[in-house]
Amino acid sequence: MRPVDGQLPLIWGVFMQRKSVTSSLAPVLEVRDLSKSYGALKAVESASFTLRAGQITALVGDNGAGKSTVVKMMAGALMPDAGEILVDGVLVELSDPISARRLGIETVYQDLAVLPNLDVVTNLYIGREIYRGGAGRFLRIVNRRAMMEAARVALADLDIKISSLRQSVGSLSGGQRQSVAIGRALVFASKVLIMDEPTAALGVAESAAVLRLVNYARDRGLAVLIISHILPHVIDLADQVVVMRHGRVVGVLGREETTQKRLVELIVGPESTSIHDR
């Protein structure tokens, strides 16, 4: 397959991006004292942590702890009121999701953001269409065949099984839909993959398939951030766990320190733990 003017087919993109993945354990994305309020409500207050290449970081906390708000700021979907974001040690301003994507940061949001009426290929390429060469590029004529072929190769590479790429995403199972969303992010992420509760609505087998993709992303050398309420998954997967409570980071645990008991203590806080102890 020949690269189309200016826009590389997916498979080339995957190849190039793999080569550009940073060396293991280098700090890739750092947030420093990030804060965001909604009116009087301090959703996130001075949150700081670092994501490293080849590591999975889990972000945990009760409902409303501020996890999705942090993720939206890291993805350029929400501007922080205060604080700094550094990519590869350089201060960046993520004023919109496109600027985050350009820096290699891909996000799968809690509410998924797939377009159910459109088919799998279109969902994979939305905003990143491959155009035909020559005049076709100026006329913005989409090269559907190149997109189909690249999507087929990419999904096979990720071992994502979908019977027809022409199928509308709305007709897929929850797990398959989630796989399309993660697959899209994985194909385009060159540094950071962020997932907000990717297994929340899934059964056991579907969750296992998604978690396999998460491990695959780590093995590819990406810095991975996953939000999950399922503590056994967190303990199993995470190299580092960041715990939030009432908008604040109340603990950053390494793999050895991460136990269910310790996580629950940090998530619910001393007041609630002491109530249970009484």
Ligand X SMILES: Nc1ncnc2c1ncn2[C@@H]1O[C@H](COP(=O)(O)OP(=O)(O)OP(=O)(O)O)[C@@H](O)[C@H]1O
23's contact among Mg ion, ligand X, none, with CB below 5 to 8 A by partner kind, is: none
Q: Which residue's beta carbon is nearest to the bound Mg ion?
A: 68
- Smallest gap from Cβ 166 to ligand X, in A, equals 33
Bridge-partner residues for 52, per DSSP?
A: 27
In this structure, what token pair is assigned to residue 258?
A: 């991460």
107's contact among ligand X, Mg ion, none, with CB below 5 to 8 A by partner kind, is: none
Nearer to Mg ion among residue 10 and residue 70 (C-beta) = 70
Q: What is the contact surface with ligand X in residues (CB under 6 A)? A: 38, 41, 43, 61, 63-69, 110
Going by C-alpha positions, the residue among 118, 113, 125 that lies closest to residue 154 is 125
Residue 43: other Cβ atoms inside 10 A: 22
Nearer to ligand X among residue 118 and residue 200 (C-beta) = 200
Which residues of 209-269 form beta strands (DSSP E)? 223-227, 240-245, 248-254
Nearer to ligand X among residue 5 and residue 62 (C-beta) = 62
* Torsion angle defined by CA atoms of residues 53, 56, 169 and 95, in that order, rounded to the nearest 10 degrees: -60
Residue keyed to tokens 């540094």: 191
123's contact among ligand X, Mg ion, none, with CB below 5 to 8 A by partner kind, is: none
- Smallest gap from Cβ 97 to ligand X, in A, equals 16
Nearer to ligand X among residue 74 and residue 147 (C-beta) = 74
Q: What is the contact surface with Mg ion in residues (CB under 5 A)? A: 68, 110
228's contact among Mg ion, ligand X, none, with CB below 5 to 8 A by partner kind, is: none
- Smallest gap from Cβ 61 to ligand X, in A, equals 5
Q: How buried is residue 90: exposed, middle or buried, by Cβ count under 10 Å (0-12/13-18/19+)? A: exposed
d(CA 101, CA 4) in angstroms, rounded, equals 21
Nearer to ligand X among residue 109 and residue 188 (C-beta) = 109
